[in-house]
Chains A and B, each alone.
Chain A
Amino acid sequence: MSSNPQLNANGELQHLLSTEGLPREILLQILDTAESFAGVTEREVKKVPLMRGKSVFNLFFEPSTRTRTTFEIAAKRLSADVINLNVAASSQSKGESLLDTVANLSAMQADVFVVRHASSGAPYLIARHVKPHEHVINAGDGRHAHPTQGLLDLYTIRHYKKDFSRLTVAIVGDVLHSRVARSLIHGLTTLGVPEVRVIGPQTLLPAGAEALGVRVFHDMRAGIKGCDVVVMLRLQNERMNGALLPSAQEFFKHYGLTTDKLALASPDAIVMHPGPMNRGVEIDSPVADGPHSVILPQVTYGIAVRMAVMSIVAGN
């Protein structure tokens, strides 16, 4: 169990389960490959034949439209056949176990499984049981990881900031429940970002967050000061009124990104958000639509990054 389940015997990417434990070289390989695909997505014929004849199964145990769609587009641009399975509504409700579902799909000759699951670690379980030629890509598991999102965030940061080694990055909001935050933090620390900050009320930060290699701030104004990159996290509706937070309004007042708070960051700071945004909860519209925002380019880069990941694992 101790060896890295993401890498094959040659140290190449077999599955993409988490950005944690991935060597710097592999992260850079993915970003560089994505860059080479960025041109493809702007061409009139947006296809390359790298995965012709291969089957990509989108296995979503948790509903998602956006992530599933971007994986589908990415696979189609690589000329793969894409099969979308909304498992939440089918076999699981009939009592079939996770591993039985995967075994059945495996019997239909899959090459790549793109998995989203509400339970942290589920893609690890699947990766342990698939055949050697099959690859698993984690498309979000519980609060644990969302590595392709983390990678597209890294891609976006590199695109605008070029050099990771001088940056201060702030991640703001519900870090406790965020797989996006965890994946980005591991990627940033591996690529040598000297200061990663997390900002939020104590109720939304995990125990021992410092162990992830971040500085913890509870005061947004102090935390955002001088930052080159500000990543706002989505606050789930069900967490807005209860034991974690009294109200969305109070959250917005203290942690929502507004023009005046953003003014404390570096003058050329970029603002990111994994989407879907709650305007007026974690981010104010003038910021979301303003000159610092790179939220829509993130979506575009996401396709190139997912193409890169799929073509790399399928080629190994």
Chain B
Amino acid sequence: MKILIRGGRVIDPASGRDEVGDVFISDGRISGSKGKAERTIDARGLVVAPGLIDLAARLREPGYEYKATLESEMDAAVAGGVTSLACPPDTDPPLDEPGLVDMLRRRSKVLERARVYPIGALTVKLAGERLTEMAELAEAGCVAFSQANAPLADTQVLWRAMQYAGTFGFPVWLRAEDRWLAHGGVAHDGEVATRLGLPGIPAFAETIALGTLLQLVRATGTRVHFCRLSTATGVEMIRAAKKEGLPVSCDVGIHHVHLSEMDLGYYDSHCRLEPPLRSQRDREALAAGLADGTIDCAVSDHTPVDEDQKQMPFAEAEPGATGLELLLPLALKWGAERKLPLATTLARVTCDPARILGVQSGRIDAGARADLVVFDPAQHWRVVPEALKSQGKNTPFLGYELAGRVRTTIVAGNVVYEA
């Protein structure tokens, strides 16, 4: 299919290009020259950008089909302009066997929507005891290895896992959290948790683990991507580690850029997230760190949860928020608040995550994959359950008016979503 996207504001964050123009797509790629189009998309007044790349989206398959299905979440992805996503291994069973990974890849391929990059489990059943067959899993399609939200407590196993992954050059994606310090906690250990009487997770649960992990990066040389940073001190530590030249990168959940412990209000279980929403000072440091590039990218950390599991007392409610369809508007909101050029804002959800994922997406130039999103940055919409394709309607932004609505999503040169 040859498609002409005409007259849009074309933004390629990787090169900084930001100008009104046309994009011609041929054979699934962006073409340097224009030919006869079979289809023309009028993008006047709209932004044409690389499709979003989300490094953390739970599709809930296998195992949690009652929360969401691959179909519903792949629909949500393209409706949100997400054309590539990495899914964490915390499915049921976890992605610790090549067969499971293979099935997920094939099932998602058949749907012909976003590209799916599975993250393999670092240890069998994510139990933190035995290493998975990482090389086999990589052959099946895993692009990295992770413990998802089950941080490894045994530092001996952690060290060996990093050594082993490093042997093959596999990156390890880890959330820095000391399992003992976080044990039993459901909210940031601070003023709000004290008032609400919620068991706390101190900020140093993150930074102590981060300190350990950075030492292990020094010892092993293994490339580590830190997932869902949540504290100001954590941002400082990553800044120093990068300055030192360590092979590290990191991301932040888009909710944590906007919300703090204050948003828990009267026990709003939609604000029950992992890691917990922290202080306003932490939130500010995360938003600033994402702007200056200390934090490489923002992710949705998409976690569909059924309403029954949220209609519970705060501590008993299942953590997580739906996010695939909110990543773009929430990234735009962050960029606008910090007065960033649109290209910089979009870089954090396109070319920057592409670099971490090691894929040839996230840019608009001749020969690049035609994974694109056309959106209206000024169109406001209200976040209501009916407006979301995801089976998960769980979001702290329910009822909010957000700007930025996707019009068309293209993956590999095919239109996969149209508003």
Question: What is A's interface to B at a CB cutoff of 8 Å?
Answer: 1-2, 5, 20, 97-99, 117, 119-122, 124-125, 141-145, 179, 182, 206-209, 211-212
> A120 contacts B197, CB within 8 Å?
yes
Q: Is the CB of A121 within 8 A of B195?
A: no
Determine which of B194, B265, B313 lies in contact with A206 in the assembled complex, contact meaning CB atoms within 8 Å: B194
Report B243-270 residues with CB < 8 Å from chain A CB. 265-268
Given A97-B312, A98-B313, A121 contacting B194 (CB threshold 8 A): no
Contact present for A211 and B195 (CB under 8 Å) = yes
The 6 A-B residue pairs with the shortest CB-CB distance in the complex, in nearest-first order: A144-B197, A121-B267, A119-B313, A143-B197, A122-B313, A206-B194
Q: A5-B266, A120-B267, A121-B267 are in contact. Are A208 and B194 (CB under 8 A)?
A: yes
A125 touches B312 (CB 8 A): yes
A-B CB contact pairs (8 Å), 17 listed: A1-B265, A2-B265, A97-B311, A117-B313, A119-B313, A119-B315, A119-B316, A121-B197, A121-B198, A121-B266, A121-B313, A124-B267, A125-B267, A143-B198, A144-B196, A144-B197, A206-B194
How many angstroms between the C-alpha atoms of A5 and B202 in the bound complex? Answer: 29
* Across-interface contacts of B308 in A (CB, < 8 A): 97
Contact B194–A209 (Cβ < 8 Å): yes
Other A-B pairs beyond A121-B313, A144-B197, A208-B194, 13, CB < 8 Å: A1-B266, A20-B195, A99-B311, A119-B313, A121-B197, A121-B267, A125-B311, A141-B197, A142-B315, A143-B198, A182-B195, A206-B200, A207-B193
Q: Which residues of B contact A206 (CB under 8 A)?
A: 193-194, 200
CB distance from B401 to the nearest CB of A (A): 16
By beta carbon, the residue of chain A nearest B309 is: A97
A124 CA to B269 CA, complexed, in Å:
11
Contact A1 B313 (CB under 8 A): no
State the CA gap A179–B194 with chains docked (Å). 11
Q: Point out the residue from A5, A99, A121 that lies within 8 Å of B314, measured CB to CB.
A: A121
Closest to A1 in B: B265
Binding site for A on B (CB under 8 A): 189-191, 193-200, 202, 265-268, 308, 311-316
Give the Cβ gap from A249 to chain B, nearest Cβ, in Å.
26
B393–chain A nearest beta-carbon distance, Å: 16
Contact assessment for A121 and B196 in the assembled complex, using a CB-CB cutoff below 8 Å: yes
Q: B191, A208: Cβ atoms under 8 Å? A: yes
- Output the nearest chain B residue to A61 by Cβ-Cβ distance: B313
Question: Does more than half of chain B's interface fall in helix, strand or loop, or is it mixed?
Answer: loop
Measured between alpha carbons, how far is A117 from B315 in the docked complex, in Å? 12
Interface core residue of B189, B190, B268, B311 (most chain A CB under 10 Å): B311
How far does the Cβ of A187 sit from chain B's closest Cβ, in whole Å? 14
The residue of chain B having its C-beta at the shortest distance from the C-beta of A128 within the complex is: B266
Residues of B within 8 A of A141 (CB): 197, 313
The answer for the CA separation of A1 and B196 in the assembled complex, in Å, is 15
Contact A120 B313 (CB under 8 A): yes
Within 8 Å CB of A1, what residues of B?
265-266, 268
| A126, closest chain B residue (CB) | B313
Contacts of A144 in B (CB 8 A): 196-198
Q: Are B190 and A207 in contact (CB under 8 A)?
A: yes
Residues of A within 8 A of B199 (CB): 143
A141 to B191, CA, bound (A): 18
A252 to chain B, nearest CB (A): 26
CB contact under 8 A between A119 and B314, given known A1-B265, A5-B266: yes
Residues from chain A with a CB closer than 8 A to the CB of B189 are: 207
CB distance from A272 to the nearest CB of B (A): 20
- What residues on B are CB-neighbors of A119 within 8 Å? 312-316
Bound together, the chains give a CA A1 to CA B398 distance in angstroms of 11
Query: Quick check: A120 and B196 within 8 Å, CB to CB?
Result: yes
Bound complex: CA of A289 vs CA of B323, how far in Å? 59
A84–chain B nearest beta-carbon distance, Å: 22
